[in-house]
Amino acid sequence: MTDETTSGSRRGAASAPLAGPATRPTLPRPRRVLARRETTGARREALHAGAWWLWALGLATAASRTTNPLLLGLLVAVAGYVVAVRRTDAPWARSYAAFLRLGLVVLAIRLGFAVFLGSPIPGTRVLFTLPEVPLPEWAQGVRLGGRVTAEGLLFALYDGLKLATLLICVGAANALANPARLLKSLPGALYEAGVAVVVALTFAPNLVSDVRRLRATRRLRGRPTRGVKALLQVGLPVLEGALERSVALAAAMDARGYGRTAQVPPVVRHTTTALTLGGLLGVCAGSYGLLAAEGAGYGLPLLLTGLGAALGGLWLGRRRTVRTRYRPDPWGSRAWLVSGSGAAVALLMIWASSYAPEALHPPAVPLTAPTLPLWPALSVLLGLAPAFAAPPPPPRTGGAHPTSVRARKPSVRTRKADRGEADPKETTP
Max mean pLDDT range (149-163, 291-305, 314-328): 149-163
Q: Are residues 157 and 120 in the same domain?
A: yes
Its domain, for residue 268, covers 264-320
Number of domains the chain is built from: 2
pLDDT in tens, 95-113: 888 899 999 999 999 998 8
Q: Are residues 66 and 151 in the same domain?
A: yes
Q: Are residues 68 and 124 in the same domain?
A: yes
Q: Are residues 208 and 314 in the same domain?
A: no
Is the pLDDT at 191 greater than 50? The verdict is yes
Is the pLDDT at 337 greater than 90? The verdict is yes
Is the pLDDT at 139 greater than 60? The verdict is yes
Q: Which of 53-62, 212-221, 264-273, 401-410 has the lowest mean pLDDT?
A: 401-410
Q: Is 164 domain-assigned? A: yes
Where is the domain boundary, 320, 342, 357? 320
Q: Is 381 domain-assigned? A: yes
Q: Are residues 270 and 241 in the same domain?
A: no
pLDDT at 251: 76
Q: Which of 182-191, 219-228, 411-420 has the lowest mean pLDDT?
A: 411-420
pLDDT at 166: 93
Q: Is 208 domain-assigned? A: yes
Burial of 149 (0-12, 13-18, 19+ CB in 10 A): buried
Nearest to 47 by CA among 341, 249, 270: 341
Confidence of residue 37 (pLDDT cuts 50, 70, 90): very low
For the segment 127-146, the average pLDDT, to the nearest whole number, is 78
pLDDT at 291: 63
Q: Is 302 domain-assigned? A: yes
Q: Are residues 308 and 232 in the same domain?
A: no
For the segment 214-231, the average pLDDT, to the nearest whole number, is 81
Q: Is 282 domain-assigned? A: yes
Q: Average model confidence (pLDDT) for the chain?
A: 75
Q: Are residues 257 and 279 in the same domain?
A: no
Q: Are residues 298 and 313 in the same domain?
A: yes
Q: Is 161 domain-assigned? A: yes
Q: Are residues 99 and 176 in the same domain?
A: yes
Q: Is 36 domain-assigned? A: no
Q: Are residues 179 and 293 in the same domain?
A: no
Q: Are residues 274 and 193 in the same domain?
A: no
Q: Is 15 domain-assigned? A: no
pLDDT at 10: 43
Q: Are residues 152 and 292 in the same domain?
A: no
Contact predicate 260/322, CB 8 Å: yes
